[in-house]
Amino acid sequence: MKQFILVRWLLLSVCLSLLAVTVFLVHNRVHLVKQKDTPYHQAPSNWFFMQRAYPFETINYNAFDEALGQADRLLALSAFKQNGSWEFIGPDNVGGRLTDVAMHPTDSQTVYVAAASGGVFKSNDLGDSWQAIFDDQPSLSIGALAIDPEDADVIYVGTGEVNGGGGSLTYGGTGVYKSDDAGLSWTSLGLTETRHIGRIVIDPSNSQRVFVAAMGRLFSENQERGLFRSEDGGQTWENVLYISPQTGGIDVVINPNNPDTMYAAMWQRIRYPDSRRFGGDEGGVFRSVDGGTTWTELTNGLPETEIGRIGLGMAPSEPNVLYALYADEVGPFRGFYKSIDGGENWTQLPDDPVLVQNSAFFGWWFGNVRVHPENPDIIYSLGLRLVRSEDGGFTFEDVSGGMHVDHHGLYIHPLNTNLIIDGNDGGFYVSRDGGNAWEHKDNLPITQFYTVDIDFQNPLHVVGGTQDNNTYRTFSSSESDWEVLVPIGDGQYVRIDPQDNQKVYGSFQRGGIMRSVDGGENFFFATEGIDAEEPVNWSAPIELDISNPGTLYTGTNKVYRSENEARSWEAISPALPARNVSTSVFDTFGTITSISVSPTNPDYIYAGTDDGLVWVSTNGGEEWIDITQSLPDRWVTRVMVDPRVETTAYVTYSGFREDIPLPHVFKTTNTGQLWTDISSNLPEAPVNDIIPDPVQPGLLYVATDLGVFYTVDDGEVWMPLGEGVPRVPITDLSLHAPCRKLVAATYGRSMYSFDLAQIGFGPTGIESAQTPAGRIDALENYPNPFAASTTVRFSLQAASDVLVELYDLTNRKVAVLQEAYLSAGIHEIVWDGRDMSGREVAAGRYFCRIQAGEQVKTHPLVRVR
């Protein structure tokens, strides 16, 4: 059992990981042999958003809504139904970011949680088990929850996470939803253009009166923001507190003894791709004494300029006692204020060091306050950590224990104030002793993955990098069997050497790279030779040369290569010129987002950039040619060379249309001299990855923000692949061709696996699952390594249809050794080292794949000369 220690990782700037100050490293697994200074100068933020907005200042939500409709129509076509199911493979023992939590007011076992990009979950046993209850809705980005105090079966959901700023930021929401049956069904209540909702509160004396604090669009101005009121349970809405197109509602509290008295926090903020403003003079605390019809700004003792995010707290037992936590317009702690006369007068409390540190450098990411239901002097401040005051805000102590950082939601049960639940960037926590000790319910399937890779030697071994939760792996592909692999910040690319799975390469935000030679037990920093002053993407790629996995590639604004397993790197390109973006508000830096090396000819190297350019070298990096031609001016998400022909490649794009249709997938067969649009009937949504199947020409898989799609005719017609994955962005795919296994990384609902034999793409193109099962007890070959020939030996426990094939490291089928119905017992097949055309294969590593009925096993073979 490995022990965990706490290691300080000092970030050079406020970065998107939002761990900011502290991350957990694993003892004896990470050896800090070289501290890499990560370049943050000119660093663009909000990586997720920027991909989809470039080259414009905001996402075209009309185009996004159209793409949703296109996907729905495609899924509804009967010809595309019953095309297999995805299997959830986890993790559910890692967690992910929660934005809000709520409890049944009289039942201490019923809990609801809002995931930042994973929907709404319900538990009837205080988090021991969960049920997804919002998956059929168009937006699974959640900002706020509210339960009707008069009828706990009535639940409101505000979509669109309001905590803007981070690689974490997902799409805005689609308004407010209501359930009258405890989450079994939902009705849209409108407010679609509010996009990001910070709080929903219900009048405790009149549940038909509902208030919604709406921030509006986070990356552009709009009118649909402020505080909205409904007098008829959400059927109609009125904007009762509006300041300006840049200022929205972030928090609201209601006096339980006199519900006509209420308080709202307004926050002026605007964030463009090339600039941000997290505060301004228009923000502040406002009070209404007539149920929200008229409002007065409270200024006696409160800041009036340079106001950032504000969190409000009201003491339920003494509603005249109010607390307000202020950040400044940049983000750090501004002050903690208290009123004991219903907001008439405010006093700034002493700047307790614990509270100041808790607000850290990014108060715009959390900044909430909760007050004990019975004791007005017990206050919880939600920030980087969870801190508590027991003397009315004069002093604070850290009570977060071993909880994950970045706290967004907290609920103290009014009938048992020792029972507290907390939601943070690591998931759901429960305290049964008033917040002194916490239990992590590590069973929520809401991890946000950036990437995925499959171990070629062991297809059950799956790895992936996550937002704010390190890099994880499983050796069993089972949902609760995941563990930390690379324990730093935001995990990005992970690559396992297909010849030697003891060699593992992982990365974290802004080009950090680590290497392991013992299967991930110990990691070393591996950036020697990479210029730390060069601009680098938030998710800088790492790719292996499959024909020689000891050679790796990564990129800044240059392409780098290592020929010694990442011990050192050398630039093999100049700084690739950035696109002229003088007509765009988008500040890009020409960083490399994707690299692909031909497995048939490693002299062919392709690269794509964040400003929409595609480059190729046909001589191993000596010269680079811009082959963008007439490709779209959008963020390149993936370049992928064909596994069979080095002159054939694919490129995929993010972004949305403006006035004309926008294709997202292109193909070239002549090294970029001419590109063909193969998007066809794909929904016009960002495409994040593409995989050409090495077994069957013309078969392609793409990961999009609206699901996984495939084509059997090189893009003439696209079809949705399988059912069972919630509508969250699919950020990455990995294919294990011999086992016909496709794994999808999702941004908010962990990972899913798909058996391609379900749709006839098994090893023989036949529904192999229909053949009888015959258990394979052993699979080996001798001699191994071999020179001239080797004997493959296997044992069947029962008679079965058997297929024995050989693959090289590019997943290309080399030979079929056996395809027959075999009896139980031991069988031997001699391979003479020739491929299907009768030619001698080169020295190297190969894999024997045997399928008997439903069971598949693989075994490595090594040929020497």
Strand 30-31 to 523-525 pairing: parallel
Higher pLDDT, 822 or 410: 410
What's the mean pLDDT in 285-310? 96
Query: In CATH terms, is domain 51-56+447-759 a member of 2.130.10.10?
Result: yes
Q: Could you identify the residue written with the tokens 């409270």?
A: 298
Phi then psi for 458, rounded to 5 degrees?
A: -140, 95
Which residues, at least 6 apart from 62, have a Cβ–Cβ distance to it below 8 Å? Answer: none
Q: How many CB atoms lie within 10 A of CB 235?
A: 12
pLDDT at res. 714: 93
Closest by Cα among 326, 330, 346, 329 to 338: 346
Cα 278 from Cα 392, distance rounded (Å): 28
CB 605 within 8 A of CB 77: no
Q: Of 209-218, 387-396, 770-779, where does mean pLDDT reach its minimum? A: 770-779
- At 310, which helix (H) or strand (E)? strand 307-314
Cα 309 from Cα 95, distance rounded (Å): 26
Identify the burial level of 79 via C-beta atoms within 10 angstroms of its C-beta, where 0-12 means exposed, 13-18 middle and 19 or more buried: exposed
Q: Where are the alpha helices (DSSP H) in 707-754?
A: none
Instruction: Using DSSP, state whether 25 is helix, strand or coil.
Output: strand
Q: Of 35-44, 369-378, 496-505, where does mean pLDDT reach its minimum? A: 35-44
Q: Which residues of 549-587 are buried (b: 16+ CB within 10 A; e: fewer)?
A: bbbbbbbbbbbbbbeebbeebebbbeebebbebeebebe
User: What residues does each domain of the chain span?
Assistant: 51-56+447-759, 95-130+141-441, 771-863
Cα 382 from Cα 389, distance rounded (Å): 12
pLDDT at res. 19: 35
**Residue 440 pLDDT more than 50?**
yes
Instruction: Using DSSP, state whether 134 is helix, strand or coil.
Output: coil
Pair of tokens at residue 94:
């890692």
CB 411 within 8 A of CB 430: no
Closest by Cα among 233, 144, 147 to 194: 144
pLDDT at res. 278: 83
Cα 607 from Cα 638, distance rounded (Å): 8
Class in CATH terms, 95-130+141-441: mainly beta
What's the mean pLDDT in 458-462? 95
Query: Radius of gyration of the chain from Cα atoms?
Result: 28
Which residues, at least 6 apart from 705, have a Cβ–Cβ distance to it below 8 Å? Answer: 52, 67, 171, 685, 686, 688, 729, 730
Report the DSSP beta bridge partners of residue 751.
90, 745
**Residue 724 pLDDT more than 50?**
yes
Higher pLDDT, 12 or 747: 747
What is the DSSP-derived secondary structure letter of residue 448? B
Cα 37 from Cα 537, distance rounded (Å): 14
Cα 702 from Cα 682, distance rounded (Å): 10
Q: Matching CATH topology for 51-56+447-759 and 95-130+141-441? A: yes
pLDDT at res. 661: 84
Cα 428 from Cα 848, distance rounded (Å): 44
Phi then psi for 66, rounded to 5 degrees?
A: -65, -40
Q: What are the pLDDT digits (tens) for 694-703?
A: 988 899 999 9
Q: Could you identify the residue written with the tokens 């690739």?
A: 576
Write the CA distances from 658 to 55, 63, 633, integer angstroms: 11, 7, 12
What's the mean pLDDT in 846-853? 85
Q: How many CB atoms lie within 10 A of CB 473?
A: 23
CA 737 to centroid of chain Cα atoms: 25
Instruction: Using DSSP, state whether 351 is helix, strand or coil.
Output: coil
pLDDT at res. 636: 97
**Residue 793 pLDDT more than 80?**
yes
Cα 151 from Cα 165, distance rounded (Å): 35
pLDDT above 90 coverage of the chain, percent: 72
Q: What are the pLDDT digits (tens) for 126-146?
A: 999 999 999 999 999 999 999
What is the DSSP-derived secondary structure letter of residue 756? G
Write the CA distances from 810 to 129, 456, 845, integer angstroms: 41, 10, 11
Pair of tokens at residue 655:
């972004």
Cα 177 from Cα 154, distance rounded (Å): 11
Strand 119-123 to 131-132 pairing: antiparallel
CA 733 to centroid of chain Cα atoms: 13
Cα 295 from Cα 299, distance rounded (Å): 13
Cα 453 from Cα 433, distance rounded (Å): 42
**Residue 392 pLDDT more than 80?**
yes
What's the mean pLDDT in 212-216? 96
What's the mean pLDDT in 732-737? 96
pTM: 0.88
**Residue 55 pLDDT more than 90?**
no
Cα 209 from Cα 762, distance rounded (Å): 57
Q: Of 446-460, 637-651, 760-774, where does mean pLDDT reach its minimum? A: 760-774
pLDDT above 70 coverage of the chain, percent: 90
Strand order from edge to edge, sheet including 559-562: 542-544, 552-555, 559-562, 570-571
Instruction: Using DSSP, state whether 355 is helix, strand or coil.
Output: helix
**Residue 219 pLDDT more than 70?**
yes
pLDDT at res. 811: 74
Q: What are the pLDDT digits (tens) for 531-580?
A: 999 999 999 999 999 999 999 999 999 999 999 999 999 999 999 998 86
pLDDT at res. 272: 58
Q: Identify the band that residue 807 occupies on the pLDDT scale cut at 50, 70 and 90.
A: confident
**Residue 22 pLDDT more than 60?**
no
pLDDT at res. 273: 53
Closest by Cα among 854, 701, 697 to 767: 854
Q: How far apart are the first and last CA of the chain?
A: 43
Write the CA distances from 24 to 166, 468, 743, integer angstroms: 19, 11, 27
Q: Of 81-90, 285-294, 447-456, 602-611, where does mean pLDDT reach its minimum? A: 81-90
CB 161 within 8 A of CB 196: yes
Per the prediction, the chain carries an average pLDDT of 89
What's the mean pLDDT in 822-836? 92
CATH architecture type of domain 771-863: Sandwich (2.60)
**Residue 123 pLDDT more than 60?**
yes
Q: Of 87-101, 356-370, 377-391, 738-752, where does mean pLDDT reach its minimum? A: 356-370
Q: Cis omega before residue 694 (within 30°)?
A: no
Strand 751-755 to 825-831 pairing: unpaired
pLDDT at res. 27: 28
Q: Of 173-187, 214-228, 266-280, 475-489, where does mean pLDDT reach its minimum? A: 266-280
Pair of tokens at residue 242:
């509006």
Cα 791 from Cα 413, distance rounded (Å): 68
- The one-letter amino acid code at 348 reads Q
What's the mean pLDDT in 90-107? 94
Which residues, at least 6 apart from 619, have a Cβ–Cβ distance to it below 8 Å? Answer: 603
Q: Identify the band that residue 31 occupies on the pLDDT scale cut at 50, 70 and 90.
A: very low
**Residue 583 pLDDT more than 90?**
no
Q: Could you identify the residue written with the tokens 């020697």?
A: 528
**Residue 745 pLDDT more than 70?**
yes
User: What phi-psi label fits residue 810: left (phi over 0), alpha (psi between -120 and 50 degrees) or beta?
Assistant: alpha
pLDDT at res. 429: 98
Strand order from edge to edge, sheet including 676-677: 636-641, 649-653, 665-668, 676-677
Which residues, at least 6 apart from 632, have a Cβ–Cβ distance to it below 8 Å? Answer: 612, 653, 655, 662, 663, 664
Q: Could you identify the residue written with the tokens 């593409």?
A: 690
Cα 128 from Cα 453, distance rounded (Å): 30
pLDDT at res. 861: 87
Q: What are the pLDDT digits (tens) for 75-84?
A: 887 555 567 9
CB 327 within 8 A of CB 360: no
What is the DSSP-derived secondary structure letter of residue 118? T
pLDDT at res. 21: 33
**DSSP string for 56-85:** SSS--HHHHHHHHHHHHHHHH-GGGSS--B
pLDDT at res. 13: 30
Q: Identify the band that residue 148 occupies on the pLDDT scale cut at 50, 70 and 90.
A: very high
pLDDT at res. 168: 55
CA 120 to centroid of chain Cα atoms: 16
pLDDT at res. 494: 97
Pair of tokens at residue 203:
């009048």
What's the mean pLDDT in 610-634? 96
Sign of CA dihedral 160, 161, 163, 164: negative
Cα 558 from Cα 605, distance rounded (Å): 13
pLDDT at res. 656: 92
- At 409, which helix (H) or strand (E)? strand 407-412
Cα 333 from Cα 362, distance rounded (Å): 8
Q: What are the pLDDT digits (tens) for 321-374?
A: 999 999 998 888 999 999 999 999 999 999 999 999 887 778 888 999 999 999
**Residue 309 pLDDT more than 60?**
yes
